[in-house]
A = this chain, B = another copy of it.
């Protein structure tokens, strides 16, 4: 299986069906059959998706009679946002510094044209 937790979360959310499942679980808990109903795949396939989400820590399943309601664990999202925010901030700060450098350079900057659009 995937090595680190962050990879597991990103990988779990890389699938549209799994993201849709997460979206629906954000509204309410649901059973496997309820979750599988809208999709054009078998229940087993959805069960597999749920296992991927569970391995990523995004979802938990509790036994309740013969039903196994699935519950969204939203705290794992923090892993993703923290990672992204860190590098976004770094990139933005670097961009700001670059701006400063360019501003302090009145002479011909030897740069070529960048992106065409």
Contacts and interface: CB of A to CB of B under 8 A. Distances in A.
B80 A23 contact: no
Contacts of A32: none
A87 B14 contact: no
Interface string A57-91: 00010101000000010100100110111011011
Given A62-B115, A74-B91, A15 B7 contact: yes
Can you tell how many copies of this chain the complex includes?
2
A43 interface: no
A2 B19 CA distance: 14
Interface string A34-58: 0000000000000000000000000
Interface of A: 2-4, 6-7, 10-11, 13-16, 19, 22-23, 25-28, 60, 62, 64, 72, 74, 77, 80-81, 83-85, 87-88, 90-92, 94, 112, 114-115
